[in-house]
Chain A
Amino acid sequence: MTNVRTDARKRDSLAIGAVRRDFAPWLDPAAKPLIRYEAVTKQYSDFVAVNNLTLNIYEREFFCLLGPSGCGKTTLMRMLAGFEEPTAGRILLGDQVVSGIPPYRRPVNMMFQSYALFPHMNVEKNIAFGLVQDGVPKNEIADRVAETLRLVQLTPFARRKPDQLSGGQRQRVALARALIKRPKVLLLDEPLGALDKKLRSETQFELMDLQVNLGMTFLVVTHDQEEAMVMADRVAVMDKGTIKQIAPPGQVYEQPASRYVAEFIGDVNIIEGKIAEVGEHQVRVTRSDGAGTLLIDLQNEPVSVGQEVAVALRPEKLVLHRDLPTDTPNVLSGDIWDIGYLGDWTIYLVQLASGQIVRVSRANSRRFVEQPLTWDDKVHITFASEAGVLLTH
């Protein structure tokens, strides 16, 4: 089974590269979005789930809505599916305003978090359900179901009932049922949430292949940042009904727009400080803990002397030294407080004089180290001026 899947990947990988490599319609001002949320608000009696949100999603895009539970991401998706109506604003699909159109007439299909497979129907009937509703001729239904079963590699399970399948197989039935109608947009609500870790990482790549091969637009809701980072063309990081940043995964990680995004995506160390000096390309930041200054590259956002800022540092961009290096302007000194060995990486938690814990990760590129760092060792952390991200809010 696993071999079959790997082979399928090999065959398609060229196509995927060609499609995904230069895919960036959001940079093209002439490109017309497929889905447009225009100042959409969804108000429930006691709270605002989505707050005046505007968002464009392009055709063939793999778009992820990422955020903690209760941030409004599911509501946003359900409004497109038609299960909720916006309180204000409008949603366009192509040129059509979808508000008021009942779910069963919208050209989108959804894969539910719980899969919502019909327990009284077998796999085949579940998958065929959408086509039967549309009155597609019987022999065409049979052909398309067989084809879709092949696509998700479930042909031998066609006659089984959902409760006779494993979690991974159920997930594929749900996927097959949602995509058999070739919807304009496929909505996936936590598509991999119920799978175990190993299966999840396998399925992530399968979903990407599928999306490229079918040429469909995918809108995925997830709270799992790894899932979003791996699969998406663009990620929207959400919080309390608003979007904090929309960007490709690499940009969200390396150039977070705010402290919230930096802290939500991956691990990050935040060093608080005040701008002391603004140069042409770099700024000098006085650390709030009084332990000296840091030299950080200037980013797009303008800053002024005296402004409070946070410097975000990713653990893998930090370097540990036993002896105080002299050739770098950025040094954080402390003791090793704790060590987490992960095999490929080791995480060092370093306590600075101020008490702040800084997380440093180091790739274990060598099997044996003569004098490994251990608990309570005195260490110095250095980093390049381009490693730090200046965050003003």
Chain B
Amino acid sequence: MSHIPASDSPPDSPSTQIVASAKAGPGTRLVRALVPALPFIWLLIFFLTPFIIVFKMSLSEPATAQPPYVPVIDWSEGLNGLLDALSQFNFENFTLLTDDWLYAASALSSLRIAAISTILLLLVGFPMAYAMAKAPEKHKPLLLMMVILPFWTSFLIRVYAWIGILKPEGLLNMVLQGIGVIDQPLQILNTDTAIFIGVVYSYLPFMVLPLYATLDKLDWTLLEAAQDLGCPPWRAFWQVTVPLALPGIAAGALLCFIPIVGEYVIPELLGGPDSLMIGKTLSDEFFRNRDWPLASAVAVVLLIIVIGPVMIFRELETRRLEKSR
């Protein structure tokens, strides 16, 4: 019985006492301060700390040792050890990144693949989300379920399944040859096309869900109003639906673009030897060359590349909110 005490309850009733103690206790105040701090603590432990470690590594030099880089801060030497390590840090790895064309090329290629994939995702996802938002109310939970359903199978297995579909003697080529569309098997696997197929397939829910969330809230009488004022449906789509869906489009595009830039599994499994992606380059540096400092530098650069669009989105979002205020 923990309801809010009514004003007519006697002064010593248990409920009044509970309220009194909740008001004062110093422990409660600490808990209250902790609640909003929790996400920050989370970010501090699981994002900022690893990033600082990676950044520190990127300023070191590779070495044939365990761990494979120097300097390592020697905490036994106390402050001297820290200062000693700091004095040895340099930005050589970052200058090295600009020297070798490979890194810039893989970064650019990643951005290109991510950009094209995002556009493809938008082209596939928007009609899907639109149809879902327009579907009868009773069918919506089922449609939503179908979009989320692939998550119930391992991502890796789903990407492997595409190998079976796309390979020269795979399902797709068998079907196409069977119905006589082609007589030579298409070489799709190990090309950029395969990467696009894999990426669009894997990231589709991340595009559809935010779009659906926006379109589902859209007031369809606005489209009727547009038509009533002499606007044909296709024009109303561009003048009313798209501007109002913009927050969903931006959210979906970012949600896809950012992880695709750093995507590793899909190009590794479906891409060819010359499909360059920064995630693959990074992994090669870590595991093939065992050059942890350089790999860390690549990771830092990747982060900076990816932060760019996020900042632009945030800027747009704030401007939009300010405008509507």
Interface residues of chain A, those whose CB is within 8 Å of chain B, are: 81-83, 102-105, 108-110, 112, 114, 116-120, 129-130, 133-134, 161, 163, 177-178, 181
Contact = CB atoms under 8 A, between A and B. Distances in A.
Contacts of A102: 227, 232
Contact of A116 (B224, B231, B232): B224
Given A118-B240, A120-B243, A104 B221 contact: no
B134 interface: no
A177 B224 contact: no
Contacts of A108: 228
Interface in B197-252: 219, 221-222, 224-233, 235, 240, 243-244
B87 interface: no
Given A114-B219, A116-B221, A161-B324, A134 B243 contact: no
A104 B227 contact: yes
Contacts of A109: 228-229
B240 A83 contact: no
Contacts of A134: 230
Contact of B227 (A103, A114, A119, A161): A103
A130 B228 CA distance: 8
Contacts of A82: 227-228
B227 A118 contact: no
* A-B pairs with lowest CB-CB distance, top 3: A130-B229, A116-B225, A133-B230
22 contacts: A103-B228, A104-B229, A104-B230, A104-B232, A105-B230, A109-B229, A110-B228, A114-B221, A116-B222, A117-B225, A118-B226, A129-B226, A129-B231, A130-B230, A133-B229, A133-B230, A133-B231, A161-B323, A177-B229, A178-B228, A181-B229, A181-B230
Contacts of A177: 229
Contacts of A110: 225, 228
Contacts of B230: 104-105, 130, 133-134, 181
Nearest to A78: B224
Nearest to A114: B221
A163 B229 contact: no
Q: Which of B224, B232, B244 has the most CB of A within 10 A?
A: B224
A105 B87 CA distance: 77
A161 B227 CA distance: 21
Contact of B219 (A103, A116, A181): A116
Nearest to A81: B228
B217 to A, nearest CB: 11
Interface in B24-68: none
A7 B229 CA distance: 32
A163 B324 contact: yes
A119 B244 CA distance: 8
Given A117-B225, A133-B230, 18 more contacts: A83-B227, A103-B224, A103-B227, A103-B228, A104-B230, A110-B225, A112-B224, A114-B219, A116-B221, A118-B222, A118-B225, A130-B230, A134-B230, A161-B323, A163-B324, A178-B228, A181-B229, A181-B230
A352 B36 CA distance: 69
B137 to A, nearest CB: 16
A105 B232 CA distance: 9
Contacts of A130: 229-230
A120 B246 CA distance: 11
Given A114-B219, A129-B226, A163-B324, A120 B244 contact: yes
Contacts of B235: 133
A76 to B, nearest CB: 16
Contacts of A118: 222, 225-226, 240
A161 B244 CA distance: 14
Contacts of B243: 120
Contacts of A103: 224, 227-228
Nearest to B223: A116
Most chain A CB neighbours (cut-off 10 Å) among B221, B225, B233: B225
A152 B244 CA distance: 27
Contacts of A104: 227-233
A102 B227 CA distance: 8
Nearest to A108: B228
Nearest to A113: B221
A102 B226 CA distance: 12
A110 B228 CA distance: 7
Interface core residue of A105, A133, A161 (most chain B CB under 10 Å):
A133
Nearest to B231: A133
B250 to A, nearest CB: 14
Nearest to A163: B324
Contacts of B323: 161
A112 B221 CA distance: 8
Interface string B286-325: 0000000000000000000000000000000000000110
Given A118-B240, A163-B324, A83 B224 contact: yes
